[in-house]
Amino acid sequence: MPRCARCGSPEGAIYIDYMKKYLCRECFLKFYERKVKNTVLKHGMFKGAVKVGVAVSGGKDSMALLRVIRNTFPNMELTALHINLGIGEYSEECELKVKELCEELGVKLVVYKLADEGFTIPDLMNTHYGKRICGACGIVKRYLMNKLSLELGVDRLATGHNLDDTVELLLELYLTGRVEELVRVKPVLEGGRGMVAKVKPLIEMTEKENFWYTHLTNTPFAMLECPLVKGSRMIARKKIIAKIEEELPGFKHLLYKSHVKRILPRLEKTVEKPELKACELCQMPTTGKVCAYCKLVSKVLETVKAHGKAGG
Ligand code: SF4
Ligand code: ZN
C-alpha cells in the first residue's frame, strides 16, 4: 500500500489525482477541512453573517457541505433547508437522509414540500420543460431556496456546488458564448433587492473529494439516483471533462482558476448588469415582466389540471 505523502503513514489510502499524491484518512480529513475553510475565508463568504442557511438536497456534496461547515465554523448559527421535489422514492430517500444528518449534527432543519405549490418535478415531464428537466428543476430550486432564505432571515445561503459542476457549467457557457451568465459563475453572489447572498464553499473541491469526505466521516447521503436524469447533456459533458482530466491532471482546477482570476474581473467590467424589476405575479426580482418560476408554474399547473393531482 502506498505511503501518505503528508505523515508517511503506510495507510495512504486516498489518491488525490490532481496532486498525484496519496493521503491517509487523518491527513485527508485535515486537508479537506482546511481547504474548505480557506475558500470560505479567502472570499469572505461568512463575513458579517450571523445566520447561515445551507441548501441540502441529500446528495453527497451538500451533505459533505453541512458537516464541513459544522466542523469548521462551530459557532455559526446554521439552518439546513431542504426541498422535497416529489420525485417518488428518490425524494423520500433524500429527505430521510437529510433528517438523519441534521439530527446527528444538531442542526435546525426546514423542509419544504414542492407539492404544496400544486405540482412536483415529474409533472414538468408533461410540459415542454421535460426536454430540459434539470434546467427546469434548477429554476424551481433556486426560486424556492431564495424565497425560503428570505422568509427565514438567513444572511447567506451556502450551496454544495463543487468544482466538477462549475467546470461543466463553464464549458457549456464558453461554448455557447453566454457571457451574461458566465459573469455569474463565481464563489460569492451578492444579495440585495429580493435576493439572498449565495456562497459556494465547495467550489474548489472535486466530486471525488466530497465523496471521500462523506465516506470517511460516515456521513449519510442518498444512494438512489434521480430517475429523471438519464441521458442528460450535463452528464455527457461531465464524462468528457473527466476524460480531459485523465490526460491533463489539474485541468479542472486550471480552468476554474483562470476563469475566476483572469477572465471574470474583465467580464465584470464590461458585461452590463441586467436591470431587475419586480415580477408582475410574485414581486420577486426578474429581468422580464414575469419571472422564470411564475412562467413555469402557470404552464405546469395547466397540465396538472388536465392530468390530475400533483405527481399523479
Ligand atoms: Fe432535478 Fe435533474 Fe437533480 Fe433530478 S437530476 S433532482 S431533475 S436537477
Ligand atoms: Zn414571479
Is the CB–ligand 1 distance for residue 114 below 6 Å?
A: no
Pairing of β 77-84 and β 108-113: parallel
Q: State if pTM tops 0.85.
A: yes
Average pLDDT by stretches of 10, the chain with 312 residues = 88 84 94 98 96 98 98 97 98 98 98 97 94 93 97 97 96 93 95 94 97 97 91 81 92 96 95 91 95 97 79 50
Cell of 26: 487523518
Is the CB–ligand 1 distance for residue 121 below 6 Å?
A: yes
Structural contact between residues 304 and 123, judged by C-beta atoms closer than 8 angstroms: yes
Structural contact between residues 193 and 146, judged by C-beta atoms closer than 8 angstroms: no
Q: Is 308 left (phi over 0), alpha (psi -120 to 50) or beta?
A: left
Question: What is the spatial distance between Cα 100 and Cα 38, in angstroms, rounded to a whole number?
Answer: 28
* Ligand 2 (single-atom ion) residues, CB below 5 Å: 279, 281-282, 291, 294
Distance from the CA of 297 to the center of ligand 2, in angstroms? 9
DSSP 133-172: HHHHHHHHHHHHHHHHHHHHT-SEEE----HHHHHHHHHH
pLDDT tens for 230-288 read 767 778 888 999 999 999 999 999 999 999 999 999 999 999 888 889 999 999 999 99
Residue nearest to atom 5 of ligand 1 (CA): 229
Task: Give the pLDDT of residue 308.
Answer: 67
pLDDT tens for 3-27 read 999 999 887 679 998 888 999 999 9
Residue nearest to atom 7 of ligand 1 (CA): 134
Task: Give the pLDDT of residue 193.
Answer: 85
Is the CB–ligand 1 distance for residue 94 below 6 Å?
A: no
Ligand nearest to C-alpha 121: 1
